[in-house]
Amino acid sequence: MTLSHEIIVVTGASTGMGAATARELAGRGFHVLAGVRRPQDAEALRSERIEPVFLDITEPAQVAAVAARVESDPLGRPLRALVNNAGIAVNAPVEALPMSDWRWQFEVNLFGHIAVTQALLPALLRSRGRVVNISSIGGKVAMPTYGAYAGTKFALEAVSDSLRRELAPHGVQVVVVEPGGVQTEMAERGATTAGGIAAGMTEEQTERYGDLVRAIVAHSAAFTRAGQTAEAAARIIAKATTARNPRTRYTIGRDAALMTRLSRFLPDRLLDRMMAADLRPHFPKPVTV
């Protein structure tokens, strides 16, 4: 069976890594169902082997519609893989982040992925396909103000381990990809959201965390600028999706490879000091009179 006769679903394909992954897999001959949320993103992606589908992974009707599209494929093509890539980043101190934002972060970054996986598992079990979950370096190490985001990624890592062990006897592989810095729009959107949340902090919270939030925003921007391109990240995701004998985990970027290793061996207090030192240059400079 040729590659053009296999389907891959990629969620969160409107921009960034998702769009680049859809194009990379299409270039390798797969028929990609690319999940988008806006008509303009659909038209930007549409090509001979990329079929945009409207998919908000928090909307059950849209998730069901994509599963129905896979089941009723006019050419009877099997589902080779699901790439769970959709995600958001909402960063703020644990004390200051509203509970609605905590819940929404988990709804998108964890429960949405589970919903799509559940919907497509019947097809993946028939084809002995693959689930690829896009986690993060934040799924191994949690920076200050990343409590909610890292919490979703730590949880996704655990769910992936459980799912891998459940499905291995049935021929379905589960792979985790852990990106470090990648040049996408997520950091910019996260900075905007963080600024809005910071503006709503109490006076006492601002005194405690204001400089930290500004440092994190500056650090995130620098981290993103120095990161991998979306296209380079997409090549690793495509490898995780198509390798005959994939590893259980892949990292993207030297920063991710280093931090995931250090997190396994270094004491927590030493990691705390390393993170504080990494953040220190990004704190606002004291005003001198």
pTM value is: 0.92
The pLDDT of residue 185: 75
pLDDT digits (tens, 9 = 90+) for 1-46: 445 689 999 999 999 999 999 999 999 999 999 999 999 999 999 9
pLDDT digits (tens, 9 = 90+) for 157-214: 999 999 999 999 999 999 999 998 888 777 667 667 777 888 889 999 999 999 999 9
Which runs of E-coded beta strand occur in the chain?
A: 7-10, 31-36, 50-54, 79-84, 130-134, 173-179, 182-183, 228-229, 249-252
Q: What residues are paired with 179 via a beta bridge?
A: 252
Active site residues: 149
pLDDT digits (tens, 9 = 90+) for 93-149: 999 999 999 999 999 999 999 999 999 999 999 999 999 999 999 999 999 999 999
Hey, CA dihedral for 89, 92, 94, 100, is it positive or negative? negative
What type of residue sits at position 233?
A: A
The pLDDT of residue 227: 81
Give the residue extent of every domain in the chain.
Answer: 3-282
The pLDDT of residue 287: 63
The pLDDT of residue 1: 41
Q: How many CB atoms lie within 10 A of CB 77?
A: 16
pLDDT digits (tens, 9 = 90+) for 252-265: 988 889 988 899 99
Phi, psi dihedral angles at 188 (to 5 degrees): -65, -45
Q: How many CB atoms lie within 10 A of CB 34?
A: 31
Three-state secondary-structure class, residue 273: helix
The pLDDT of residue 286: 75
| DSSP per-residue codes, the chain | --GGG-EEEESS-SSHHHHHHHHHHHHTT-EEEEEESSHHHHHHH--SSEEEEE--TT-HHHHHHHHHHHHT-TT---EEEEEE---------TTTS-HHHHHHHHIIIIIHHHHHHHHHHHHHHHHT-EEEEE--GGGT---TT-HHHHHHHHHHHHHHHHHHHHHGGGT-EEEEEEE-SEESSHHHHHHHHHHHHHHTS-HHHHHHHHHHHHHHHHHHHHHHHTSEEHHHHHHHHHHHHH-SS--SEEEESHHHHHHHHHHHHS-HHHHHHHHHHHHGGGSPPPP--
The pLDDT of residue 12: 97
The pLDDT of residue 90: 87
Q: Which of 210, 186, 191, 211 is nearest to 200 (CA)?
A: 210
Superfamily of domain 3-282: NAD(P)-binding Rossmann-like Domain (3.40.50.720)
| pLDDT above 70 (res 245) | yes
- Does residue 61 contact residue 49 with C-beta atoms inside 8 Å? no
- Max Cα-Cα span within the chain: 73
Q: How many CB atoms lie within 10 A of CB 160?
A: 23
The pLDDT of residue 2: 46
